[in-house]
Each structure stands twice: as C-alpha cells, then as structure tokens.
Amino acid sequence: MNRRGLLAAGAAGVAAGLTGAEPAAAKPGLLPRVPVRTGMDRLAAAGWDAVRGERIGVVSNPTGVDREYRHLVDRMHADGVSIGGVFGPEHGFRGSAQAGGSEGTGTDARTGLTVYDAYLASQATWAQMFTAAGVRTVVFDIQDIGARFYTYIYTLYDSMAAAARLGLRYLVLDRPNPVGGRAYGPMMTDGFTSGVGRLKIVQQHGMTVGELARFYNGEFLVAEAGRPVDLEVIDCRGWAGRLRAGDTDLPWVLPSPNIPTPDTALVYPGTGLFEGVSSLSEGRGTTRPFELIGGPGFDHRWRDRVAALNLPGVEFREAYFTPTFNKFTNQLCAGIEVKVSDQAAYDPIRTAVAMLVEARGEAAFAWRVDGGTRYWIDLLTGSSRLRTMIDAGATTDDVVGAWAGELAAFEARRRPYLRYSRLGS
C-alpha cells in the first residue's frame, strides 16, 4: 500500500477499529487483552512505503518498538530506509539517562547512525539539527504518558515548529494514551509556563500524540512558526479512550526510568504533583515511584485521614520506604502507597488533591520553592490557585470545582482534533 493509501486507510478505519476488534486470546489466569495496532505496526506492515525514497529523521526513544520489542530505527535501518539522523528526548534515545538528563550527541552502537541530543533543544536548535542531518521528513514515535508535565509532548511541539519553518514533512506514528482518553485538571495559564508546562492544555490532556499533533497544528503552530507543518498521522487501530495500557495487547516499555509499569502511568498525572512538595518524596529512588508518597516527618495518621475519604477507585496502604536517590536519600519515609482498584472510577488528579489537602495540615508539610521565588507546584498545576486555595483551608471539592469551567472549554476546543471514540472513558 502506498503512502496515500495507508493514510486513507487509517482515516477510514479508525471508527471501525475502535470497539469491534475481538479480544486477543487470554493466557490461563489472565483477562483477555484488546488487540491494538500502532502507527509503527501499520507503517511496517506496508513495507515502509510512506517513507521510502526519502531521507528521514527519527524522533524516538526506547518505547518506539513493535510487539516483538524491535525498535523502529533498527528495523528501518536494516530494511534500507534512508535515515539521516536520530533525535533523542529526555532520558536519551536508548533510555539510559535519569530524570532531567540526556545521552548527548554521538553515534549509535547498533546502527552507526548519528544520534542528536534533543532534550531541551530550542526550535532554532531543532532546525539546525534537521539541516545538519539533511532530512526531508521527520518521523515521531514516542509513547507519551498523558500528563502536561511529561516532557515528550514538548519534544513533539518544538520539532513540529522547526519542521514547519523548514518546510519539512512531519509524520507521527500514533500510540495509545496509556491513561485513557478523558481530560482532567486545571489549565496552564500565562506567567506559569516552564519546561514542565509549556502550552495551554489541561493537566491530563487525554489525547494520543497523534491527536496532540493535530491539536498543535490547528491551535498553536501558525502563531508560533507562521504556518502549520505538513502533518500526517498514521493512526492506531483498535484503541478507544476507555482503554488504559493494561487493557491492550501492546507490550509495555518504560517510557522513562521512573515510570516502570502501567500502574505507575495511571497515578502519575496526579501524584506527579508531589514533586512540588519539598517535605514529601514522590517515591523516586524506590521500586514504586509515584505510587509511594511519604516523608520523614509523616506517620500513619496521614494515610488514615486520606483512606477515610473513601475516594472512588483507589485504596491507600500505610507504607514505609527508604529512597536510594532523589529526596531523602537513605532516610526512612512514612506515608502512603496508592493502589488503584477501579481504573474507570479512579480520578488521579482529584485523588492527589485530596492527599495534598490532608497533608497540608501536618507540621512537617512544606511546598517546594526553587530559586528562592518560584513554587514548583504552581508550575505543575499551571497557576498559584491550587496552592493558595489549599493554604487557605479549601476542601478537595473547592479546589477541583475551581477548574470546571476551563476544563469544559478545553474539552470543546480539542474535540475537532480527536480521532478515537471516548464512549465509556
């Protein structure tokens, strides 16, 4: 199938593949999984026709694999596709760097291709790298997590803007959103943008990277780059917004060192907020990051108060842990392990807000302040509202209700760019 045929088949087949696919045969003791074909799967099945004869650049990381864990770059290189360069985001192309780090620019040992360090690259630097690599088409294949403060969605945006300025074609190989298709949380506002929140989207955006790319192209790129990019998306088949990572038959590859499992991904859009609390570890340096939350000045009483709220879809285990790096290295922390019991009922952001409200009353509680002036929680939530409301004694309902209008407006704004059903999500 040629390039146009593949893209047309994706557009025509999206609706048919949403809920009609039969579940894959279950192994003994396991629930059946919904079969999903990613954009990479579909491009490979078509013999790479959509990129044959072009010099391409690939923006990817360890998540860009097929169901046999073969990487997109390795497969295309072996099949003779012309790759001018590979561009690695935070944590690097092969994924060896920790949070806030990258692998640097160098030569990939397996393929001999040049890998450019794209983490924190400006749009001008992206344009320079694309020019140096001599690419005419950019291919993006990275598994996102669905939270505004996860940096891969800004790798997507900045590389799209640079490609638009250079007149390059941009091809997104879509993958499911592992936390589903519903949007939650507050909107980013002027004055609070940063590397953990660059664009005016809500905290849990509920879109795939393909949907986000369409949203960016329609809502932001004309103002940013002067024109939209020549965008094409090869959609998934079989995914719908009601599905989470554990519901599909796709293999899980940790998208960063601190998101090791689908369980971590489920809680991260909420408990990622604890990066904005200096007195509580978000579980980095343990085997359950973002599921374990605690600090040296806390005890069982915080867990008991949170558990008494009877929040939907989640249970709370009294937990004790000693991080091996990041906050409170080698110090005993007491707190909570977040255990999702019903994915459909669970709201990660409301849950995290409730945990913050109950923690704020502890004498040990302190917000994280960077550089002496910026509250990190404000950058994560997109404004000072959540922090000031909690400091003033607001309830969880008060805090969550404050963003209802902006969330509804975002839902309406993103609707034209959605490609997959949200029924039952």
pLDDT of residue 224: 87
Tell me phi and psi for residue 57, to 5 degrees: -115, 140
Question: 123-159, pLDDT tens digit by residue?
Answer: 999 999 999 999 999 999 999 999 999 999 999 999 9
pLDDT of residue 14: 42
* HEC assignment per residue over the chain: CCHHHHHHHHHHHHHHHHHCCCCCCCCCCCCCCECCECHHHHHHHCCCCCCCCCCEEEEECCCCECCCCCEHHHHHHHCCCCEEEEEECCCCCCCCCCCCCCCCCEECCCCCCEEEECCCCCHHHHHHHHHHHCCCEEEEECCCCCECCCCHHHHHHHHHHHHHHHCCEEEEECCCCCCCCCCEEEECCCCCCECCECCCCEEECCCCHHHHHHHHHHHCHHHHHCCCCEEEEECCECCCCCCCHHHECCCCCCCCCCCCCHHHHHHHHHHHHHHHECCCECCCCCCCECCEEEECCCCHHHHHHHHCCCCCCEEEEEEEECCCCCCCCCCCEEEEEEEECCCCCCCHHHHHHHHHHHHHCCCCCCECEECCCEEHHHHHHCCCHHHHHHHCCCCHHHHHHCCHHHHHHHHHHHHHHCCCCCCCC
What pTM does this model have?
0.92
Scored b (16 or more CB within 10 A) or e, 130-159 reads beebebbbbbbbbbbbbbbbbbbbbbbbbb
How far does CA 252 lie from the centroid of its chain?
14
CB 282 within 8 A of CB 290: yes
Q: What is the largest CA-CA distance in the chain?
A: 64
pLDDT of residue 167: 97
pLDDT of residue 11: 42
Q: Which residues pair with 197 in a beta bridge?
A: 194
pLDDT of residue 30: 52
CA dihedral over 387, 389, 394, 396, signed as positive or negative: negative
Burial class of residue 226 in the structure, from the number of CB atoms within 10 Å of its CB (0-12 exposed, 13-18 middle, 19+ buried): exposed
Residues of the chain with pLDDT under 50: 1-5, 7-29
Task: Measure the CA–CA gap between 43 and 57, rounded to whole angstroms.
Answer: 15
- Cα-Cα-Cα-Cα torsion 412, 416, 417, 423, nearest 10 degrees, comes to 70
Task: Measure the CA–CA gap between 90 and 396, rounded to whole angstroms.
Answer: 33
pLDDT of residue 15: 39
